[in-house]
Amino acid sequence: MAISEKLQLLCKYDNIPSELTISAILTEDELRYVGDESFLDLMLTVILPKVVAEDVDFYKLFEIDFNWICRCLRILSFGPIYTTNSIFCDSCHNTTYGEYKVNLNSVKCIPIPDDTPEIMRVSKHEFIDFDKDIFFKLPTIGEIQNMMKNQLFIRKDTVIDALLGRLCCMITCIGDQVDISDKSILDIFKNKMISADYQILRAIINQMTNFGLESCGKTQCPRCKSIDATFIALPDDRYYVRPWELHSDDQTVTVAGVEKTYREVRQQLYENIIDETLFISRASESAVSADWLMTQPIFVRKKYVESFTKELQEREKTVKNAGSRRLGQPNR
């Protein structure tokens, strides 16, 4: 496994190089990653400054590049295999539920066409009733982070309405109102735009910004074996971002056939990392110290676990064989 890798950013920037060098996440940072409450804050302030070699203002990255870096970092640190809970098949029209291993390299990333303008426009002629042009741009991850903390977008059930919030981040101008505030945009959506036009606006913006990581990957259908089946890998969902940020802690998920709350999943992930580190340290008779492992990439720990587990199994087999030989062939 490579320790570092070059990646091409999707967008063009004035102050950020077009190619970045990223290195794998260290075990000590994986512990923080599992334990920390805010994924975005942790990535922007701790993980990315550590794993990206170039000097970058990460808040200025467009959201699609942030997701793209997270995907590359995920594959570099943990490998491309991902466990999904459902597979959708167009050939036999079945959705199969269970735990399936899929490959994240099958999730395509669509480059931005060269002729894409920085500011895009939805013409007033697209709407049924609304009579103003709407201008928008891609949101930066810094803007998304601010939006996630903005009281304006909290719904009655205390959850952030991220779809609405993202839309407001993107819109720069409605009619002749330049640099329009989030509050004014919400006011227009609520009081001056019919629901059908709001849906049209969302559909057109989605269509015009359909680049970056796709939301599905390809895999084999467990039933009809078609290789065109798909699994969901939303860039900002379970696929990389920790699920407990998007769901409440008492919501459950199935892990290895057992229902667990997200709180339990986090706890288990945390304990697994500690257990693996201690196991290596013991199996190596302290030749490999837990402290040293903490400062190494995740795959170094995984490799040691694999080789020591194998060694232990072989040792057990030898002991067992020696035992059965003695039983079967008594000394003459």
Which residues have a Cβ under 8 Å from the Cβ of 212 and sit 6 or more positions away? 10, 64, 65, 67, 68, 109, 110, 112, 235
**Contact flags string 222-241 toward Zn ion, x per CB under 5 A:** -xx-x---------------
Window of 88-96, 109-117, 187-195, 313-321 that interacts with Zn ion by CB under 5 A? 88-96
CB of 101 to Zn ion, least distance (A): 17
> Which of 7, 204, 221, 293 touches Zn ion (CB under 5 A)?
221
Window of 114-122, 125-133, 214-222, 309-317 that interacts with Zn ion by CB under 5 A? 214-222
Q: Rounded to an integer, what distance in angstroms lies between the CA atom of residue 249 and that of residue 155?
A: 18
Window of 9-17, 68-76, 218-226, 322-330 that interacts with Zn ion by CB under 5 A? 218-226
Residue closer to Zn ion (CB basis): 3 or 92: 92
Pairing of strands 212-213, 177-178: unpaired
Window of 30-38, 123-131, 155-163, 220-228 that interacts with Zn ion by CB under 5 A? 220-228
CB of 83 to Zn ion, least distance (A): 19
Residue with tokens 């990439």: 297
Please report, as residue ranges, which positions from 91 to 150 form the binding site for Zn ion (by CB under 5 A).
Answer: 91-92
> Which of 47, 75, 89, 147 touches Zn ion (CB under 5 A)?
89
Nearest to 204 by CA among 149, 122, 82: 122
224 DSSP assignment: T
Which residues have a Cβ under 8 Å from the Cβ of 12 and sit 6 or more positions away? 18
CB of 88 to Zn ion, least distance (A): 9
158 DSSP assignment: S
Residue closer to Zn ion (CB basis): 120 or 224: 224
What SS3 class is residue 182? helix
- Binding-site size, Zn ion (CB under 5 A): 7
Burial class for 233, CB neighbours closer than 10 Å (0-12, 13-18, 19+): buried
Residue closer to Zn ion (CB basis): 95 or 272: 95
**Contact flags string 58-87 toward Zn ion, x per CB under 5 A:** ------------------------------
Burial class for 303, CB neighbours closer than 10 Å (0-12, 13-18, 19+): middle
CB of 221 to Zn ion, least distance (A): 3
With beta carbons less than 8 A apart as the criterion, state whether 134 and 166 touch: no
179 DSSP assignment: T
With beta carbons less than 8 A apart as the criterion, state whether 242 and 266 touch: yes
Q: Which residues bind Zn ion (CB under 5 A)?
A: 89, 91-92, 221, 223-224, 226
